[in-house]
Chain A
Amino acid sequence: MSDLIQYTFNGLVVGSIFAIAAVGISLLYSVLRLVNFAAGDFLTLGAFLTYFLSVTLELNFFFSIVVSMLAGMGISWFLELVLWRNLRRNKAGTLALFLVATGVALMLRPIIQFLFGTETRKFNIDILKTYDFLGARIAHTQLLVLIFASASILVIALFISKARIGKDMRAYANNPGLAAVSGINVDRVVLATWLISGALGSLAGVFQGLVQGQFNNSMGESLLLSFFAAVVLGTIGDAYGALVGGLLLGLFMELSQLSFFFGGVPSNYKPVVAFATLVLVLLFKPEGIFGYRGRKV
């Protein structure tokens, strides 16, 4: 029983990070048809910026996270104004946008390296502290991440379903032409999408840095494939789907190591489990878990 609790908890922690990163990627795709290959590097940037503020400048950790999210939003806003908006006006296709996103990722990496160095970093938080819970050992940092990630997921879900701009985003994603003629401010929707994506990227980076304990500048890049898998699993372009897809992916990967799952899959095959799950789901539901919904975002 304690094993089940332990692996479920581990899976929820990993899955919640996947979910937060995936929802940003999914929102961008649904609204802009942009496969944001730079998403992983926004994670790294968020973690390093929070490290710089909270460890180097010794500012409050939570204040540093907020500033880091604002910085993520600011950079996304800047890129929208100088880059993405112009590309859209020039009718750049999906492939062109994808390649430019890859270029942004390749530019961000050396910039992060130049600004923050290449050394392994850690936040000023006790990464060894644990709590016992029904025989399972829960790390302090994992608990923090799970609480704040759950709250973030709830806020994102409420924002998309209830807030005016969230509804506009859904309408635009569903039918951009109709949304534009019905009076929705398209530029405002696009900008909001970038701001949310930038903030979520930074937040996921901090969460990932916390659960890893230590991180380096390849952190986000190495997780990018898992984020995209979560997006596809939950239906491409469906933000709710990305949330669920991320959580399911994390849970499958961790629970697969339990002995009741074919005797326990060796941990080096965790990615195989993740992608086998993805393939299996797509075989029966090629549009992803939430594909039946008939609408996006």
Chain B
Amino acid sequence: MKIRKVLLATALTSTLVLNALPAQAAVDMKIGTIHPLTGGNADYGIGLTTAAEWGAESVTKAMKAAKVAGSCKIVASEDDQATPALAVEAATKLVKSNKVNAIVGPLTSGSTLGIAQSVTVPNNIVVIATAASSPTITKYADQDLLFRTYPSDAFQGKVIVAAVQKAFGKTVTLSIGARNDAFGTALANVVTNEWVKGGGDIGRKVLWNPDNATFDSEAKLLTEGSPDVWVIVDFPDTFAKVGPALVRTGKWDAKKTFFTEAMYDEAVIATIGVSIMAGAKGTAAKSIGVDSAKWKTDRKAAKPSTKETFVDASGYDATVLLCLAAIHGKSVKHTALIKSLRAVSGSQGGPLIPWTKLTDAVKAAAAGKKFTYQGAWTTAKFDAAGDSSGALFRVYSIDAAGKLSSNDAEDVRF
């Protein structure tokens, strides 16, 4: 009888103690975003920011469904107008005032390198850039704190050159015009090297400062020597000024010009001017994620008023990966996040879990398992430099009405 009482008391005490303890310590992940919400790149920035917000909301919902304690929130979304100086200010505010654990964004390479150098690396903050493509980012000494979900221009440079070679031949003269920043100069160098390697000649290589008062002299230089084809690496707000100057030279032909992903947006083409852009071609990264069409439909239902561009899902995946990493590492510390980002992104293998099964992904992360998150934009499998593995590019054309089209058969995969 006495033994039964002791056993009963022990069982009751154990139950009470176990119930009082949480199944897992709650992880509250605070993320900030930096994108251009105003200015010429605002369409991209607004799309990426709302996609990131939806990503955080989706993970928090999945955490509740999976009965995993904690939350993943976007605590502040800052506007950098695609300007490095403003990005640094925004990152400082996010780190010092909002006390974020990680940052999603920026959009541009210049802003990404700017915040890494001045704010995030010195403060041990993990960053996943959403559309920064400069190869310089791969080599940047970031103490493993800088990741990206968008493919490097080391790929895009090759795709542009291949597309030009296919359209105009390998031995024609190519002139390159690029904005003088991390994105423009790096991609212009990749294109130059690839083009020369392929046996072609470089006519003029003109770099312009985005802050120039006018661009007529740059346009004149770029059209000198009557090259057979042009490659232009620029952002919409600057090309809105360069484009008219090129037309005014009377020597430039949009039909002989290739752009990058920055112009892969019909609203951007309309702003610059359909009469300027009609007939041009370009290359743009394409989603290698799963169910990307479903993602667009679901996102439209979840965030109906937002602007949409081709790259939005990159912001969603970046946010989801950070949230899953926090759950996996059971910590928001940078050391845990870095380790866990590779564990959940597929760098170390593990079963495939698509974005459509976020609850399963959260459960796997909470159980500390290694798995491969398949995003709507990419399956990141972050490499040693923090770059996402693999890339897919489309070659697009702009018709006389300013509409974009591309042929899947011409897509280039790495």
Residues of A that sit less than 8 Å from B by CB: 3, 6-7, 10, 13-14, 17-18, 113, 118-120, 127-128, 130, 137, 139, 142, 208, 211-218, 222-223, 226, 250, 254, 257, 266-268, 270-271
Q: Looking at the complex, which of B21-29, B246-254, B350-358 is the stretch in contact with chain A?
A: B246-254
Q: Known A118-B38, A216-B39; judge A267-B250 contact (CB<8 A).
A: no
A14's partner among B180, B213, B236, B248 (CB-CB below 8 A) is B213
Give 14 A-B pairs besides A128-B247, A250-B213 with Cβ atoms closer than 8 angstroms: A10-B217, A14-B214, A118-B39, A128-B248, A128-B276, A211-B213, A212-B213, A213-B240, A213-B241, A214-B241, A257-B217, A266-B207, A268-B207, A268-B209
Q: Is the CB of B244 within 8 A of A127?
A: yes
The contact sample of 6 A-B pairs, CB cut-off 8 A, is: A118-B42, A120-B40, A218-B83, A267-B206, A267-B212, A268-B180
For B69, the chain A residues whose CB sits under 8 A away are none
Q: Which residue of chain A has the shortest Cβ distance to B250 in the bound complex?
A: A137
- Does B218 interact with chain A (Cβ within 8 Å)? yes
Q: Produce 1/0 per residue, B202-243, CB < 8 A to A.
A: 000011111111111110110000000000000011001100
A267's partner among B217, B244, B271, B276 (CB-CB below 8 A) is B217
Q: Is the CB of B214 within 8 A of A13?
A: yes
State A46–B105 Cα separation when bound (angstroms): 33
State A213–B208 Cα separation when bound (angstroms): 17
A60, chain B: closest CB distance, angstroms = 23
Q: Is the CB of A222 within 8 A of B211?
A: yes
A212's partner among B206, B214, B217, B271 (CB-CB below 8 A) is B214
Q: Which residue of chain A has the shortest Cβ distance to B210 in the bound complex?
A: A222
A222, chain B: closest CB distance, angstroms = 4
- Does B101 interact with chain A (Cβ within 8 Å)? no
Q: Is the CB of B217 within 8 A of A7?
A: yes
Q: Is the CB of A216 within 8 A of B218?
A: no
Name the interface size band of chain B: 35 or more
State A177–B245 Cα separation when bound (angstroms): 51
A161, chain B: closest CB distance, angstroms = 28
Q: Known A6-B220, A14-B214, A118-B39; judge A128-B244 contact (CB<8 A).
A: yes
Q: Closest 4 A-B residue pairs measured CB to CB?
A: A118-B38, A222-B211, A268-B207, A213-B244
Q: Known A14-B214, A128-B275; judge A137-B248 contact (CB<8 A).
A: yes
For A271, the chain B residues whose CB sits under 8 A away are 209
- Does B81 interact with chain A (Cβ within 8 Å)? yes
State A222–B211 Cα separation when bound (angstroms): 6
B78, chain A: closest CB distance, angstroms = 14
Q: Which residue of chain B has the shortest Cβ distance to A13 in the bound complex?
A: B214
A-B contact count (CB 8 A): 93
Q: Known A137-B250, A212-B241, A267-B208; judge A218-B213 contact (CB<8 A).
A: no
Q: Is the CB of B248 within 8 A of A223?
A: no
383-405 of chain B: CB within 8 A of chain A: none
For A211, the chain B residues whose CB sits under 8 A away are 213-214
Q: Known A6-B220, A130-B248, A216-B237; judge A267-B207 contact (CB<8 A).
A: yes
A208's partner among B206, B213, B245, B271 (CB-CB below 8 A) is B213
Q: Is the CB of A226 within 8 A of B213?
A: yes
State A139–B249 Cα separation when bound (angstroms): 9
State A271–B237 Cα separation when bound (angstroms): 20
Q: Is the CB of B247 within 8 A of A267?
A: no
- Residue of B39, B210, B214, B245 most packed against chain A (CB within 10 A): B214
Q: Is the CB of B180 within 8 A of A214?
A: no
State A283–B229 Cα separation when bound (angstroms): 45
State A268–B42 Cα separation when bound (angstroms): 25
State A255–B221 Cα separation when bound (angstroms): 12
Q: Which residue of chain A has the shortest Cβ distance to B218 in the bound complex?
A: A267
Q: Which residue of chain B has the shortest Cβ distance to A212 in the bound complex?
A: B241
Q: Is the CB of B221 within 8 A of A267?
A: yes
Q: Which residue of chain B has the shortest Cβ distance to A138 in the bound complex?
A: B248
State A141–B211 Cα separation when bound (angstroms): 19
For B244, the chain A residues whose CB sits under 8 A away are 127-128, 213-214
Q: Is the CB of B213 within 8 A of A223?
A: yes
Q: Is the CB of A10 within 8 A of B209?
A: no
- Residue of A6, A139, A250, A271 most packed against chain B (CB within 10 A): A139
Q: Known A14-B214, A218-B81; judge A268-B240 contact (CB<8 A).
A: no
A246, chain B: closest CB distance, angstroms = 11
B186, chain A: closest CB distance, angstroms = 14
State A222–B237 Cα separation when bound (angstroms): 13
For A214, the chain B residues whose CB sits under 8 A away are 240-241, 244, 271-272
